[in-house]
Amino acid sequence: MSILNYIPQANQTGLNYEGLSTSAQALFEACQKQWNESKNCEASASQLRGLLEGDGAKMARKLVCFALEHLNSKPPGWWRDVKKPEEEWELETNVVEGPMIRHAIALTMAEVIHSFAKLGDERVRLLTQDPAYTSLTKGLLQNIGFEIIGDGGAG
């Protein structure tokens, strides 16, 4: 019988080479505002409200999110098509807009769930895990209400 130990590892080569964006907070706020004002946000929130109201509805206590990705990476050097004129280049922020919207969606879900809580109920726990989270991302997420669980694997 052999026992294998879990050896945590993370490929940091890209992050170390490209560096981290330091404007994640402002960009997240802009992405969250864009999400909150969208028709998709209202439709998703409405659908979730429909599941939480009425006879026999259950109350959620936790919202668990996996692999939403970190929020402050810069694109790899090969990412931009430099053959195009500079005004046609994609913005560096396009790389993190998807992860930022996913985190904004999770916040919306937690807010909707909490709106159905009874007086005295605990706040909905918003748990997230992604081995790719950087320390900057973890700090940002904790400031906006996420609990980071584990550093990788099954944490």
Q: How far apart are CA 130 and CA 10, in angstroms?
A: 11
Judge contact between 78 and 6, C-beta under 8 A: no
Q: How confident is the model at residue 155 (pLDDT cuts 50, 70, 90)?
A: very low
Mean pLDDT of 66-77: 75
93: tokens are 């922020």
Percent share of the chain, pLDDT over 90? 30
Task: Please state, in angstroms and as integers, the Cα–Cα distance from residue 53 to each residue in 43, 47, 49, 60, 121, following that order.
Answer: 16, 10, 6, 12, 16
Neighbours of 14 (CB within 10 A): 13
Structure token pair of residue 121: 């109920």
Neighbours of 81 (CB within 10 A): 9
Query: 131 or 17: whose pLDDT is higher?
Result: 131
Record the pTM.
Answer: 0.75
**Cα–Cα distances in Å, from 56 out to 9, 53, 59?**
45, 8, 10
What residues are paired with 65 via a beta bridge?
A: 128
Cα separation, 99 vs 68, in Å, equals 6
Residue 104 has pLDDT above 80, yes or no: yes
**Separation in Å, CA 110 to CA 36, 85, 131, 144:** 13, 43, 22, 12
Backbone angles phi, psi at 57, to 5 degrees: -70, 145
Please, which pLDDT band fits residue 103 given cuts at 50, 70 and 90? very high
The single-letter code of the amino acid at 135 is: S
